[in-house]
Structure 1
């Protein structure tokens, strides 16, 4: 009996680190100063569907930070680190999936690439299992160049669309090339990121008024993004060229390869429940 008790104790000790562990998912928005990203950026339908892909769906957090700042700023990466650290501690998360969109992918890459920058970073890096990056601006965008260096019309367009900020300066093509070659990991010729950075690429914008698919996530946004495509390659989501989205990590898929009806994902639609995207992510994670 004594031997049995000792054996039982050893088993309990051996498994104890896993008793309170948990999986979790974090939703990390893109450019903008968010205070209610669940409703203003993602939508409940998107978040509530995606989080069903983890074993404990209640273990999720929707990040609200000031991503109008440079990625390394306390209001950006520092805020992200604090909210993730609190979530990991409160829920005892040991396997974290991050869902990012647009410039959120750059802030996440900053955190993953610079473990000595902030004492909170290493623990986050250690528990991160994967990043699903939706239309990340890894290579920047000519639209940021147009807003910051262009003519009056281009600058005014950027202001009207809310694209004048340090974060947009950061996403100029030459600036992102510099960051990718120095501070950030995951691009060609640079060290790999510590966790998979899996990219969904948006390749086009549909805004035909007679096409019901053009209304997913707001018809007015598709019209605006169709306009901004004039500054971009044919393969773009209206804000980012496909080459920029695929510059870091590995491409999981390009929209039409897997979306319902082989529909493209505009930059607005790639953060919403459009064309089965939310279910594809749910099943993937």
Structure 2
């Protein structure tokens, strides 16, 4: 073989897909035991739009785990890393973007913060390039406290939180304060997370019956979240106060700064294709 042919062969090998890594995105749901998060949590409209932001849109995974459990449980973090590992191996992913919502951000932070807890964690951490956390419950919510006290919130928030699950207990304000001070990184006075943790904050809820924007992601949910917002700070998405959402990592933006028409994102809307949220994420990645 001539020197020219050898160099040509080496050049072809250097750009061969087999020698290159791949970017992938994983959609990680919040509280709840999911078996079909694509349809029941995110919707295809949102997922199919966001994944166009990576070079190979087929490199995506929608996680389905039991996030009604404490974040360190096998059904939660264990399930998450198992599904991510399968995805990484199947697609040759070496640049993993995790897109999380609500309590999903806590489970991801658990994995990133505790690499020696489980032998499966380091591979996932090494492949991860960044986390985009939509309305993460990083400092918990007073509504979780209310649910565990068995008052009227237990009925009104069943669709969002479930009923007295370990995940709800975990998201009590005092519980998250303890976890943030001991086991979790990324909050004030704690070590930084090993990967970027970029946060989108939802700051308000609109439920005016005459406003078409109130119907995005389901009008009935906006009405419920407008009600629960009365027990939270003025800046909240109906489930989480802004301070909780921004407690870990770095705030990428607060809804009205970038959304179409400067519309707020309720906790329900921050996982749907509302007010160009999907295109903002797509362009960002």
* TM-score > 0.5, shorter chain as reference: yes
Structure 2, unaligned runs of 5 or more: none
2:199 alignment counterpart: 199
In the TM superposition, residue 25 of structure 1 has moved relative to its aligned partner by 0.4
1:80 alignment counterpart: 80
1:272 alignment counterpart: 272
2:257 alignment counterpart: 257
In the TM superposition, residue 19 of structure 1 has moved relative to its aligned partner by 2.2
Task: Note the 1:92-241 alignment, pairs <5 A.
Answer: 92-149=92-149, 152-159=151-158, 162-241=162-241
Deviations 1:206-235 (A, max 9, x none): 000010000000000000001111210000
In 2, the alpha carbon distance for the partners of 1:167 and 1:108 equals 14
Matched-pair contact (CA < 8 Å) for 1:37–1:64: yes
Counterparts in 2 of 1:30 and 1:274: CA distance versus 1, 3 Å: same
Question: Which deviates more, 94-103 or 13-22?
Answer: 13-22
In 2, the alpha carbon distance for the partners of 1:8 and 1:179 equals 56
Matched-pair contact (CA < 8 Å) for 1:200–1:253: yes
1:45 alignment counterpart: 45
Matched-pair contact (CA < 8 Å) for 1:158–1:164: no
In the TM superposition, residue 164 of structure 1 has moved relative to its aligned partner by 2.4
In the TM superposition, residue 156 of structure 1 has moved relative to its aligned partner by 4.0
Matched-pair contact (CA < 8 Å) for 2:13–2:19: no
Deviations 1:144-168 (A, max 9, x none): 011113x633444444653421101
In 2, the alpha carbon distance for the partners of 1:59 and 1:112 equals 22
Question: Which deviates more, 177-186 or 15-24?
Answer: 15-24
Helix, strand or coil for the counterpart of 2:152? helix
Counterparts in 2 of 1:272 and 1:250: CA distance versus 1, 3 Å: same
Matched-pair contact (CA < 8 Å) for 2:95–2:128: yes
In 1, the alpha carbon distance for the partners of 2:159 and 2:250 equals 33
Helix, strand or coil for the counterpart of 2:264? coil
In the TM superposition, residue 20 of structure 1 has moved relative to its aligned partner by 4.3
Matched-pair contact (CA < 8 Å) for 1:22–1:91: yes
Helix, strand or coil for the counterpart of 1:96? strand
Helix, strand or coil for the counterpart of 2:283? helix
Structure 1, unaligned runs of 5 or more: none
CA RMSD, aligned part only?
1.8
In 2, the alpha carbon distance for the partners of 1:160 and 1:279 equals 27
What TM-score results when the alignment is normalised by the length of structure 2?
0.95
